[in-house]
């Protein structure tokens, strides 16, 4: 039987008038990664703070490694490693001093703490900066040191709150490698992220949180299947008034138009010849096409299908009534994610055309 390492029921947290967490249930089996996905302020960090004993829930309960986070907080703390969203490293201390301090506070003997620190500094490629104050570290170095700090006592359960936010693609790819390796060793991991590709790449299961509630829960593939359909993305040379109308007969549901009027996105029925039909229809109304992509739904699409009602409607047109999908998250729009991303589209699934037509 697989042990459940993190479990929660009806977990909620109210700060005065604000309901930060409105009753979430979690169940994370040993040796797996749960990705907690959501926009800023969705309640991800609140959930992590409760599960790591830093905050008390105002409702519901949670157990980590078999211990209640409120009544057995000390037991929980012995078994977890935490990397907070803002690296809580000691700026004035060197990387080595930080790790040794955490090691000793975690109960390791002094000599063991020293050798553990050296081992982790090597492991995270920080040996060259080991004795310099953290103040001078780069963002990537801080994150690595922060992760190293949470691993000092070799905890069976790890909480990583947005471990790659603000990292450049190379640093992010390295972080992903480390995370995968940890799980191979049997560590159970809860990871929050705003990056859909990250949850997709790393997590065994994903919960999507918005406004303190879980709005979706499943394996990445299940979530994508739930959205259904195939996604169409068109880039025009310039905005065109007839474009949305020309696409309407070809798409299922709404056409989402970017604020500059050049990007159009929609769900299309799966089938052959979609790209050709799209180009012909747009050509017929005189819209000049720079790029057409047809691909299976990504987690972006899942996310927007679930939370689209929140999107700013300004500058958008819809082919039908109802909510309009918001723009893509900057993380993906920038296209600089690591190459390991499974939903970095092209590959065999997509029907991708380039060039002026």
Partner 1 sequence: MSQLAPPLGAPVSPADSFGGPARVAPGSRALRDVIVLTRRNLVHVAREPLQLSDVLIQPVLFTLLFVYVIGGGVSVAGGSYKEFAVAGLLTLNLTTAAIGTAVGITTDLKTGAIDRFRALPIWRAAVLVGRSLSDLLAAALCMTMVVLTGLAIGWRPHASVLEFVAALAIPLLFAYALSWATACLGLVSDGPESAQGIGLVILFPVAFVSNAMVPTAGMPAFVRAIAEWNPVSAVTAATRDLLGNPNPSALSDAWPMQHPVAAALLWSVAILAVAAPLAVRLYRRRTTD
Q: Which residues bind partner 1 (CB under 8 A)?
A: 3, 5, 15, 30, 49, 52-56, 65-66, 74-75, 77-80, 82, 84, 86, 88-93, 97, 101-102, 104-109, 112, 116, 119, 122-125, 133, 149, 151, 153-157, 174, 177-178, 181-182, 185-188
Q: Is 142 helix (H, G, I), strand (E, B) or coil?
A: helix
Closest approach, Cβ 137 to partner 1, in A, equals: 14
Closest approach, Cβ 188 to partner 1, in A, equals: 6
C-alpha angle with apex 30: 25 to 36, nearest 5 degrees? 45
Strand order in the sheet with 252-257: 252-257, 263-268, 230-236, 289-295, 351-354
Give whichever of 53 and 307 is closer to partner 1, judged by the CB atom: 53
Closest approach, Cβ 255 to partner 1, in A, equals: 44
Give whichever of 103 and 302 is closer to partner 1, judged by the CB atom: 103
CB-count burial class (<10 Å; 0-12, 13-18, 19+) for 30: middle
CB-count burial class (<10 Å; 0-12, 13-18, 19+) for 243: buried
Number of residues written out for the chain:
357
**Token digits for 296?**
């299976």
- Minimal CA–CA distance to 83: which of 214, 178, 170? 178
Give whichever of 172 and 265 is closer to partner 1, judged by the CB atom: 172
Closest approach, Cβ 145 to partner 1, in A, equals: 12
Give whichever of 102 and 257 is closer to partner 1, judged by the CB atom: 102
Beta bridge partners of 157: 80, 188
Give whichever of 189 and 275 is closer to partner 1, judged by the CB atom: 189
Closest approach, Cβ 290 to partner 1, in A, equals: 39
Give whichever of 92 and 270 is closer to partner 1, judged by the CB atom: 92
Strand order in the sheet with 59-64: 18-29, 4-15, 59-64, 67-68
354 vs 299: CA distance, rounded Å: 24
From the centroid of its chain, how far is CA 285? 39
Closest approach, Cβ 165 to partner 1, in A, equals: 15
Closest approach, Cβ 30 to partner 1, in A, equals: 5
User: Which residue's entry shows tokens 């109308």?
Assistant: 245
Give whichever of 90 and 291 is closer to partner 1, judged by the CB atom: 90
């Amino acid at each position: 039987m697989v042990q459940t390492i993190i479990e929660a029921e009806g977990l909620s947290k109210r700060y005065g008038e604000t309901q930060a967490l409105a009753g979430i249930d979690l169940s994370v089996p040993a040796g797996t990664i749960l990705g907690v996905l959501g926009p800023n302020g969705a309640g991800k960090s609140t959930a992590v703070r409760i599960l790591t004993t830093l905050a008390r829930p105002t409702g519901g309960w949670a157990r980590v490694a078999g211990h209640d986070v409120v009544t057995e907080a000390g037991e929980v703390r012995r078994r977890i490693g935490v990397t907070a969203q803002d690296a809580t490293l000691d700026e004035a201390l060197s990387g080595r001093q930080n790790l040794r301090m955490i090691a000793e506070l975690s109960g390791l003997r002094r000599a063991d703490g020293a050798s553990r620190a050296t081992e982790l500094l090597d492991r995270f490629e920080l040996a060259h900066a080991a004795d310099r104050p953290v103040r001078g570290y780069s963002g990537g170095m801080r994150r690595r040191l922060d992760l190293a700090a949470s691993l000092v006592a070799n905890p069976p359960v790890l909480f990583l709150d947005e471990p790659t936010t603000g990292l450049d693609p190379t640093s992010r790819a390295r972080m992903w490698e480390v995370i995968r390796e940890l799980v191979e060793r049997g560590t159970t991991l809860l990871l929050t992220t705003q990056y859909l590709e990250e949850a997709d790449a790393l997590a065994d299961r994903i919960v999507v949180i918005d406004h303190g509630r879980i709005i979706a829960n499943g394996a990445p593939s299940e979530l994508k299947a739930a959205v259904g359909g195939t996604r169409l993305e068109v880039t025009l040379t310039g905005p065109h008034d007839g474009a949305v109308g020309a696409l309407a007969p070809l798409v299922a549901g709404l056409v989402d138009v970017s604020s500059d009027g050049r990007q159009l996105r929609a769900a299309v029925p799966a089938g052959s010849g979609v790209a050709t039909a799209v180009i012909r229809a747009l050509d017929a109304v005189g819209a000049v096409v720079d790029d057409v992509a047809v691909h299976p739904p990504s987690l972006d699409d899942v996310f927007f299908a679930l939370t689209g009602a929140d999107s700013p409607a300004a500058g958008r047109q819809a082919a039908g009534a109802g909510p309009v999908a918001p723009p893509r998250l900057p993380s993906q729009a920038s296209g600089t994610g690591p190459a390991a991303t499974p939903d970095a589209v092209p590959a065999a699934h997509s029907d991708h055309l380039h060039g002026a037509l």
